[in-house]
Structure formats: structure tokens, C-alpha cells
């Protein structure tokens, strides 16, 4: 960060750099007191005070009284006039929580590692506590939270908030996920499938924002996809649209957790990906495989590339059905770059129909690993009537 | 990580007695580089005793300690430190009145040729260390008393990294922390693993343990009572801790 800023130059460019430094520090920490800002930026207290005053005048930050180690202090946070939303994405081994304002700017973010087969009640409980903790970090109360967007790695029926397919997410069947969290936080909760959220984010603020029809593929512990048609997310009955992890690729294959035989997830899901590496590489996690593939480990590259080819075949079929302008690939496996994306693109290129006018684009997710989290934020924002709350917010601000 | 490779640290048949109390009886433990091994067990199962033996604070009455296959004697904490083992105990042993940098470099200060403290260098090192661990502490000049429990734990973890250790022992790092702070500490542990270090994690919280460990070793009454992969169910591990299930021999 620091290297990007000009080191020397005219007075005004120096002031500009110092301002950027202060805004940067506030962004990174959520909220800081002026004294803490002095330490974080290395600027003098007088300079920090002047800059905060300027930023306050420009409406970029807000200052509110706070108490730090028993003393009164001025907590500086980024301005969020209309309120905030929270995005929560529960994965197989991680939970990510973000607090963002109405312009999709994330003001606080935290990742929590989760155990394998984590329990629904424990995880939702921790999600609620994390949201409250993060709000506390940026110095606002729960009442300023407009809504919460929640993503889980299973198809969700939007109306009932239940996991639509039994057995896909162990321990989460029959739990009204949204209601449970709503009860804890007393704020509206909107829930969707993680791949759908990724598609929502990439089509709203990411790589497919200029395209009407796009396909988002999420290759993580399992594979999922989100289908955007005419700029709108197509969820299908019970939110099951785009569940390519359960497309049959091996008619004689293993039985999947969903109950069918030879699903894509039984071939490229994490247990299936890690198993062949166990003899040669020992106990690996998905992140290890990604890191090793990026370092050039031949075994891991082979595994990831083969998975790319298999996923690519299914993606090509899906693309033939829906005719997207662009395919966006996200999830951990996409972090290996061309190792995974190359074979996916290759499989798509082989289908003549997809490349009639122009070759179908296969690009990495612009939001990277944060696509789903941003999707949860977008979902919360889209589901809330921001304007209705806008009056509310300004009143609160003027009080 | 790779089977068959020499473990970073191996304890073989370690026993430790305090008078008539059998703290550890013939305990085996192996830790490889790039691996988080959790040590779980009931109160008094011998977890902390084992950690103290690894840290060089206590000496075993019998048994063998090997580092990368070579037998060693860890006669003191600084001897363990020289062998690349760093530890964080429950009380953290930090100084409330000193700032973050001073705490990180406590007892291992960088001095210039005249013997005067090299503040600038230490601050830069601390800053890059905290950044590396993705620690969220506004300023390295903040006195420790102003930091939260999670931030203090982060400072204690950062301190262990000063001598470029190969193995880090963490005793109950998430005890008495809020969920957000726990999340931070668990993320730090993941970072240590990604940096290629071996980590021994002692905790009561099975949720936290199962979230970040590669392997879970259960101690019961000072004896090994089962070894589990991280995807073992909570019930299996609990059964081993409580003694409902004996190790499959």
C-alpha cells in the first residue's frame, strides 16, 4: 500500500498522499480513534486532526464519540449515510462475514475457519455473534443494519428458506436457516445458494457486469453454477437451477450425497480430488493443493487440470443450453489461474456452436475469492428498500 | 505432511511424574512441518505438561525427544528456542506497560554496534511481521493494555516468530476470546501452517481444534488415547476424551 503513494513532491501532492493514507487506515481497521490514526499512519497528531476535519467536511468520514481505555475519544469511521448491510457466507470449512455500505464498499470483514461437517446451530450462532462483533468494530449498533444476506453451499428455496435438497449439506436439512438468524439478530435475513450469490456479484459489480447473459461457475469443495439470464439471476424450482455438481458425468460412478449416481461432485469434489494425492503428498487441504499447484507441483497441477477438463465439459453443455455471453469462473480452484481455467476454456472452445459469432469468453472471477461474500451483500441490498430507509438514515444522521 | 518423512519433532515414550502423580506415561507424539497437531483432553490429562516438555520448561523423567530424527535434550526454554521451538502459554507473558514492538522483541532486542536499541529496525520488523500474519493492530506503538484479548494473542504469536522457529506451541490460544477474536487467532494459526511451520495446538474447544488441525491427538490420564484425522466426527473425539472409547489397539 505504502509503496503506491508518492514519497515526495509538491505540498498538495503530499497532502493528497497523507489523506489517502488516513482513508486507507480507516478502511483497513473499520474504525480508529484519532490517536490510533496517528500511530497507524505515522503522521503527526496535528496533521491527522486537520485531515480528519477535511474528510469530515467532504462527507467521506464520520466521527462519533467512543471510549478507549477509559478515556473519551473520537472514533473515525467511513461515512455510511443510509445504513449498512451484512453479508455472511458459510462454506464447508470457512465462514466469511462482511459489513458493507449501500455502495458495496466493505467496511469490515472477517474469516472464521470451520470444522468439517460443522453443526448448523453452532455455525449460525457464531455468524450472529460475528456480525455483532464486526458492527461493534465500525462503531454502529444493530439498528443501523438494514439486512443480512446469507449464502450456504446448498440449493435453498427462497420462499421457505429451507435447504431444498436433503442430504447435500449434512445437519442442515429442515432448518429454516433465514428464520434462525433473523430471530437472533432481529433484522431481515435473505438466504441463497453460494454459487448463485457469486453469479449475482459478478453480474452486478464483477466481470460480467456489462453482459446480459452470463454463467458463473464456482469450483470449490463442490462445483456449483449460477445462471444469469437477461440480467436476472435464474433460480429455478427450489433454487436448484445451476447445480452442475449434480449433473451426471459417470454413469457407472459412485453414489453422491444427493442419492444419484456419478454426479460431477463425486469426480471433482474435494474428497475425490484429494484422494489420489494421499499416497504421494499425504494429508492435504484444498488450499494446500491450490498453493502447491501455483508453486508448480506437477501432481497437484495434474489433478487441478483434470478437474478443469471435467468441469469444462459440463460447463460447455450448460452453455449450449443457455447461450451465455461470458463464463466467469470462481472458487478456490480458479485461484490456480490458467491451470484450471485453461482446460475449462479448451473444453468450451471445442463446442462449435458456442463459438459461432465470437469465441465464448472464459474469465476468472473479478472479485476472486470474495465473489460469494459480495453476492451476499448485493442480495441484502437488492432485497431491502434502501430509499425507504434513506429518510430514516438522514434523520438519524442529523440528530 | 508426506508419509514416511522424518518428523520435525518426535516424542517417544515420554513419562513425567510429580511425586506420586503420573502426569505422562509413555506418551508418543509426532509433528511434521506444515502440520497443525491438536492436543486435546480433559483437565489434568497432561496436555500442558507435554507442552512444557516440548518448550523445554520441564524435563521428562524418561523417554526420547527427537528433532528431525536426531535425539536432543531440551534443558531450558532458551535451549528449546535455539532448536527452533517457540511457545505461547496461557498467560502470554506480555508486559502491559510496554508497546507492541517492545513486547515482540522482549528479551531479544536488536542492538546496534554501540549496544543501543535499534528502535527503527524493530518497529519495521514488527510491522511486517504483523502484516504477514494479517494482524489488525493499528499501531506498533500502542501500549499492550489498550489491546483486546485477540490482539494480545496475536502479539504473543508474532513474538514467537522472531527467531524463525520451525515449531510453535500454542497453549489454549482461544480461551476467553470473543468469536471475532477467535476467528482472528484461528486465521493466524492457518497462516503459520501455510508458512510451513509445525504447530502444536492445545485447546478445550473441539470446534476450534477441528477447524484448523490436520491431526488430533487425544490424551487421557497422561496416556495416548487415540489419534484422529481432522474430519473425524466430534462424537468420536469426545468418546476418546471421556474414555467411552479406548484406542483401537
- SS3 (DSSP) at B105: coil
- SS3 (DSSP) at A192: strand
B5: cell is: 518423512
Which residues, other chains included, contact A91 with Cβ-Cβ below 8 Å and sequence gap of 6+? A114, A153, A194, A220, A221, A372
Confidence band of A8 (pLDDT split at 50, 70, 90): low
Bridge partners (DSSP) of residue B64 are: B12
Confidence band of A395 (pLDDT split at 50, 70, 90): very low
Average pLDDT over residues A281-294: 88
Neighbours of A204 (CB within 10 A): 21
Q: For the range A174-182, what are the long-range contacts, defined as Cβ-Cβ under 8 Å and sequence gap of 24 or more?
A: A175/A120, A177/A120, A177/A124, A177/A150, A177/A152, A178/A150, A180/A120, A180/A121, A180/A124, A181/A88, A181/A124, A181/A127, A181/A128, A181/A148, A181/A150
Cβ contact, residue pair B179, A38, below 8 Å:
no
Among residues A236, A232, A264, A271, which one has the least CA distance to residue A250?
A: A264
Among residues B125, B133, B80, which one has the least CA distance to residue B104?
A: B125
Residue bearing the bigger pLDDT, A131 or B150: A131
- SS3 (DSSP) at A309: helix
Confidence band of A363 (pLDDT split at 50, 70, 90): very high
Give me the domains of chain B, ranges plus CATH numbers.
9-96+165-242 (3.40.50.300)
A80: cell is: 455510511
Q: Which of A29, A111, A130 shows the shortest C-beta gap to B138?
A: A29
Which residues, other chains included, contact A371 with Cβ-Cβ below 8 Å and sequence gap of 6+? A197, A198, A201, A202, A206, A216, A218, A330, A365
Sole residue written with cell 496535528: A46
Rounded Cα gap, residues A355 and A295, in angstroms: 33
Of the given ranges (A358-372, B124-138, B179-193), which has the lowest mean pLDDT? Answer: B124-138
* The CA-based dihedral angle spanning residues B78, B79, B83, B89, taken in that order and rounded to the nearest 10 degrees: -50
- SS3 (DSSP) at A348: helix
DSSP string, B33-70: TTEEEEEE-STTSSHHHHHHHHTTSS--SEEEEEETTE
Among residues A39, A54, A42, A364, which one has the least CA distance to residue A217?
A: A364
Write the pLDDT tens digit of every residue in A158-201: 777 788 887 778 788 888 888 889 999 999 999 999 999 999 99
- Pair type for strands A94-101 and B9-18: unpaired
Cβ contact, residue pair A133, B180, below 8 Å:
yes
Write the pLDDT tens digit of every residue in A71-104: 788 888 877 666 889 999 999 889 999 999 877 8
Which residue from A minimizes the CA distance to B190? A113
Write the pLDDT tens digit of every residue in A258-277: 889 999 999 999 889 999 99
Rounded Cα gap, residues A89 and A374, in angstroms: 9
Cβ contact, residue pair A69, B146, below 8 Å:
yes
Q: Which chain B residues touch A114 with a CB distance below 8 Å?
A: 211
* Counts of helices then strands in chain B (DSSP H, E): 8, 10
Confidence band of A15 (pLDDT split at 50, 70, 90): confident
Min Cα distance A314 → chain B (Å) is: 29
- The predicted model scores a pTM of 0.81
Distances (CA, A) of B126 to B99, B130, B135, B182: 11, 6, 11, 22
DSSP for residue A188? -
Sole residue written with cell 511481521: B129
Q: Is the dihedral of CA B237, B241, B245, B249 positive or negative?
A: positive
Bridge partners (DSSP) of residue B111 are: B117
B201: cell is: 495446538
B54: cell is: 516440548
Q: What are phi and psi of B186, to 5 degrees?
A: -65, -35
In this prediction, the answer to ipTM > 0.90 reads no
Rounded Cα gap, residues A7 and A17, in angstroms: 8
Residue bearing the bigger pLDDT, B110 or B20: B20
Q: Which of A40, A283, A287 shows the shortest C-beta gap to B138?
A: A40
Percent helix, strand and coil across chain B, each rounded to 5? 30, 25, 40
Min Cα distance A320 → chain B (Å) is: 38
Among residues A153, A116, A123, A164, which one has the least CA distance to residue A376?
A: A153
What are the residue ranges of helices labelled H in B133-176? Answer: 149-160
Which residue from A minimizes the CA distance to B145? A69
Cβ contact, residue pair B183, A40, below 8 Å:
no
Among residues A73, A22, A32, A62, which one has the least CA distance to residue A144?
A: A62
Task: Give residue A334's pLDDT.
Answer: 94
Q: Is the confidence at residue B133, as pLDDT, over 90?
A: no
Which residues, other chains included, contact A291 with Cβ-Cβ below 8 Å and sequence gap of 6+? B194
CA atoms lying within 13 Å on the CB side of residue A279: 1
Q: What is the largest distance, in Å, between two alpha-carbon atoms of chain A?
A: 72
Min Cα distance A45 → chain B (Å) is: 14
Write the pLDDT tens digit of every residue in A139-158: 888 888 999 999 999 888 87
In chain A, the percentage of residues whose pLDDT exceeds 90 is 44
Cβ contact, residue pair B210, A40, below 8 Å:
no
The residues on B that touch A, with CB distances below 8 Å, are 1-3, 34-35, 136, 138-142, 145-146, 178-184, 186-187, 189-190, 194, 206-207, 209-212, 214-215, 229-231, 233-234
Which residue from A minimizes the CA distance to B209? A115
Task: Give residue B179's pLDDT.
Answer: 86
* A291: alpha, beta or left? (left if phi > 0; alpha if psi -120 to 50): alpha
Task: Give residue A140's pLDDT.
Answer: 83
Rounded Cα gap, residues A104 and B249, in angstroms: 56
Give me the domains of chain A, ranges plus CATH numbers.
2-78 (1.10.10.10), 84-196+373-398 (3.30.420.40), 209-365 (3.30.420.40)
Q: Is the confidence at residue A248, as pLDDT, over 90?
A: yes
- SS3 (DSSP) at A269: coil
Q: Which of A39, A112, A279 shows the shortest C-beta gap to B142?
A: A39
Cβ contact, residue pair A36, B142, below 8 Å:
yes
Rounded Cα gap, residues A150 and B118, in angstroms: 49
- SS3 (DSSP) at B87: strand
Average pLDDT over residues B67-85: 89
A325: cell is: 455471453
Cβ contact, residue pair B187, A39, below 8 Å:
no
Min Cα distance B129 → chain A (Å) is: 15
Q: Which chain A residues touch B214 with a CB distance below 8 Å?
A: 283, 285
Q: What is the enclosing helix (H) or strand (E) of A317?
A: helix A298-322
Amino acid at each position: 500500500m505504502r509503496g503506491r503513494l508518492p514519497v515526495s513532491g509538491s505540498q498538495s501532492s503530499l497532502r493528497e498522499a497523507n489523506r489517502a493514507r488516513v482513508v486507507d487506515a480507516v478502511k483497513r481497521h473499520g474504525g480508529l480513534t484519532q490517536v490510533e490514526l496517528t500511530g497507524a499512519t505515522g503522521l503527526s497528531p496535528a496533521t491527522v486532526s486537520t485531515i480528519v476535519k477535511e474528510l469530515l467536511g467532504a462527507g467521506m468520514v464520520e466521527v462519533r464519540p467512543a471510549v478507549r481505555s477509559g478515556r473519551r475519544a473520537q472514533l473515525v469511521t467511513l461515512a455510511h449515510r443510509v445504513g449498512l448491510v451484512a453479508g455472511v457466507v458459510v462454506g464447508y470449512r470457512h465462514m466469511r462475514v462482511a459489513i458493507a455500505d449501500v455502495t458495496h464498499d466493505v467496511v469490515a470483514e472477517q474469516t472464521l475457519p470451520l470444522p468439517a461437517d460443522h453443526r448448523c446451530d453452532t455455525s449460525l450462532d457464531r455468524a450472529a455473534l460475528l456480525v455483532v462483533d464486526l458492527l461493534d468494530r465500525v462503531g454502529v449498533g444493530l439498528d443501523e443494519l438494514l439486512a443480512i444476506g446469507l449464502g450456504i453451499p446448498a440449493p435453498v428455496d427462497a420462499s421457505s428458506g429451507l435447504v431444498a435438497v436433503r442430504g447435500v449439506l449434512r445437519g442442515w436439512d429442515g432448518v429454516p436457516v433465514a428464520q434462525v438468524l433473523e430471530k437472533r439478530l432481529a433484522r431481515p435475513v435473505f438466504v441463497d445458494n453460494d454459487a448463485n450469490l457469486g453469479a449475482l456479484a459478478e453480474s452486478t459489480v464483477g466481470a460480467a457486469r456489462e453482459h446480459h447473459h452470463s454463467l458463473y461457475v464456482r469450483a470449490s469443495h463442490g462445483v456449483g453454477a449460477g445462471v444469469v439470464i437477461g440480467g436476472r439471476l435464474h433460480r429455478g424450482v427450489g433454487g436448484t437451477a445451476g447445480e452442475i455438481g449434480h449433473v451426471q458425468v459417470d454413469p457407472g460412478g459412485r453414489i453422491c450425497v444427493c442419492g444419484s449416481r456419478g454426479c460431477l461432485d463425486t469426480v471433482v469434489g474435494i474428497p475425490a480430488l484429494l484422494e489420489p494425492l494421499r499416497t504421494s503428498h499425504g494429508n492435504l487441504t484444498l488450499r494446500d493443493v491450490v498453493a502447491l499447484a501455483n508453486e508448480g507441483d506437477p501432481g497437484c497441477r495434474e489433478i487441478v487440470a483434470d478437474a478443469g477438463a471435467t468441469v469444462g465439459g459440463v460447463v460447455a453443455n450448460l452453455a449450449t443450453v443457455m447461450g451465455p455471453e461470458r463464463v466467469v469462473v470462481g472458487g478456490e480452484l480458479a485461484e490456480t489461474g490458467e491451470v484450471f481455467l485453461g482446460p475449462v476454456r479448451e473444453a468450451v472452445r471445442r463446442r462449435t456452436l458456442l463459438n459461432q459469432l465470437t469465441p465464448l469468453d472464459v474469465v476468472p472471477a473479478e472479485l476472486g475469492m470474495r465473489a460469494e461474500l459480495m453476492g451476499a451483500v448485493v442480495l441484502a441490498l437488492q432485497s431491502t428498500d434502501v430509499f425507504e430507509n434513506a429518510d430514516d438514515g438522514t434523520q438519524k444522521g442529523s440528530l | 505432511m508426506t508419509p514416511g518423512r522424518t518428523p520435525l519433532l518426535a516424542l517417544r515414550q515420554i513419562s513425567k511424574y510429580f511425586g506420586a502423580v503420573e502426569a505422562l506415561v509413555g506418551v508418543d507424539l509426532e509433528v511434521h512441518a506444515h502440520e497443525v497437531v491438536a492436543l486435546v483432553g480433559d483437565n489434568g490429562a497432561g496436555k500442558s505438561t507435554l507442552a512444557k516438555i516440548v518448550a523445554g520448561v520441564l524435563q521428562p523423567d524418561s523417554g526420547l525427544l527427537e528433532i528431525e530424527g536426531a535425539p536432543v535434550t531440551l534443558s531450558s526454554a532458551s535451549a528449546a528456542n535455539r532448536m527452533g521451538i517457540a511457545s505461547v502459554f496461557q498467560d502470554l507473558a506480555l508486559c502491559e506497560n510496554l508497546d507492541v514492538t517492545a513486547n515482540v522483541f522482549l528479551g531479544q532486542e536488536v542492538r546496534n554496534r554501540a549496544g543501543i536499541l535499534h528502535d527503527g529496525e524493530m518497529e519495521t520488523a514488527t510491522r511486517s511481521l504483523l502484516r504477514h500474519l494479517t494482524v489488525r493492530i493499528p499501531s506498533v506503538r500502542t501500549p499492550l493494555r489498550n489491546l483486546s484479548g485477540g490482539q494480545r494473542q496475536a502479539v504473543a504469536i508474532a513474538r514467537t516468530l522472531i527467531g524463525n522457529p520451525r515449531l510453535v506451541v500454542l497453549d489454549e490460544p482461544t480461551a476467553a476470546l470473543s468469536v471475532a477474536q477467535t476467528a482472528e487467532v484461528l486465521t493466524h494459526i492457518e497462516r503459520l501452517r501455510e508458512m510451513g511451520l509445525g504447530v502444536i495446538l492445545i485447546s478445550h474447544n473441539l470446534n476450534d481444534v477441528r477447524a484448523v488441525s490436520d491431526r488430533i491427538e487425544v490424551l487421557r490420564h497422561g496416556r495416548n488415547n487415540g489419534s484422529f484425522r481432522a474430519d473425524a466426527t466430534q462424537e468420536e473425539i469426545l468418546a476418546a476424551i471421556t474414555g467411552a472409547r479406548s484406542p483401537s489397539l
